[in-house]
Chains A and B, each alone.
Chain A
């Protein structure tokens, strides 16, 4: 899967609820159909970001983790 990332949000090191707040702020900066990458280290983001995406109708394309960093690819609805 080859996806162009239009905006990257660095929420690494930040605790709940900042990753979701920064994600929400970020989604307002991109257009419908564009893709945002969110990087976080907060374990709570594993449940918060997917549930945020579901509730706001934005599409979570990928959720991966590597070396303690969680990466979420979200396409704006």
Chain B
């Protein structure tokens, strides 16, 4: 395929965009790698969804992007087929009450026994908004660092082999903070 035929409606738009790009080549800072770190502390669908959207988009923008999954934020990283995690009665009961996995996230408000989350997912599917599962795959493909919190892993009795592919080795709060100190964008979602 060669060339693109003009259409009258698009000419003004195109000229505007071309002049924008022509005027601002100097603003692209090749030397400075932009960096973003997101602390994902909640496993709620309502919070994990935007976290994964911003994380994957950050990587698409060429930013070095890291998501630090801690506390409840770690549950969605558990593989969907892992039903019960934990090493003792309490951690197992916790996983039983709050089913881990990217496909089992709940809404923080108006979950209504699953109806709320189901409706959101149906709306998203109909509108072709990417599912969290698809977004986390894009994250790994685009090179987002997915760091599980070491302490939470131990607290919940989670093992690395129970987590989805592409997740990095567990790190501590200091490592996360060190990354945040180098990041221009830090989010706590």
Interface residues of chain A, those whose CB is within 8 Å of chain B, are 1-5, 8, 13-18, 20-21, 23-25, 37, 46, 50, 52-57, 59-66, 71, 73
- The chain A residue with its CB closest to the CB of B25 is A57
A interface footprint on B45-59 (CB within 8 Å = 1, 0 otherwise): 000000001001101
- The chain A residue with its CB closest to the CB of B22 is A59
B-side contacts of A65, CB under 8 Å: 7, 9-10, 13
B14 touches A62 (CB 8 A): yes
A-side contacts of B128, CB under 8 Å: 13-15, 18
A-side contacts of B18, CB under 8 Å: 60-62
B-side contacts of A60, CB under 8 Å: 17-18, 21
Within 8 Å of chain A (Cβ to Cβ): is B24? yes
B4 touches A20 (CB 8 A): no
Interface residues of chain B, those whose CB is within 8 Å of chain A, are 1-4, 6-7, 9-11, 13-14, 17-18, 20-21, 24, 27-28, 30, 53, 56-57, 59-62, 127-130, 138, 141-142
Given A2-B2, A3-B2, A63-B14, A24 and B61 contact (CB-CB distance below 8 Å): yes
B-side contacts of A63, CB under 8 Å: 10, 13-14, 17
A-side contacts of B10, CB under 8 Å: 63-66
A-side contacts of B1, CB under 8 Å: 5, 8, 37
A52 touches B60 (CB 8 A): yes
For the complex of A and B, the 7 pairs showing the least CB-CB separation, nearest first, are A24-B60, A64-B10, A57-B28, A17-B57, A63-B17, A15-B129, A66-B7
A59 touches B130 (CB 8 A): no
A17 touches B60 (CB 8 A): yes
B-side contacts of A3, CB under 8 Å: 2-4
B4 touches A62 (CB 8 A): yes
Expressed in whole angstroms, the Cα–Cα distance for A28 and B143 within the complex equals 12
- The chain B residue with its CB closest to the CB of A65 is B10
Expressed in whole angstroms, the Cα–Cα distance for A56 and B61 within the complex equals 6
Given A5-B1, A73-B4, A18 and B61 contact (CB-CB distance below 8 Å): no
Query: Among the listed A8, A18, A57, which residue makes an inter-chain contact with B30, where contact means beta carbons less than 8 Å apart?
Result: A57
- The chain A residue with its CB closest to the CB of B8 is A66
Least Cβ distance of A38 to chain B in Å? Answer: 12
B21 touches A59 (CB 8 A): yes
Given A3-B2, A52-B60, A71-B4, A64 and B20 contact (CB-CB distance below 8 Å): no
A-side contacts of B13, CB under 8 Å: 46, 63-65
Query: Among the listed B2, B7, B28, B130, which residue makes an inter-chain contact with A55, where contact means beta carbons less than 8 Å apart?
Result: B28
Least Cβ distance of A32 to chain B in Å? Answer: 13
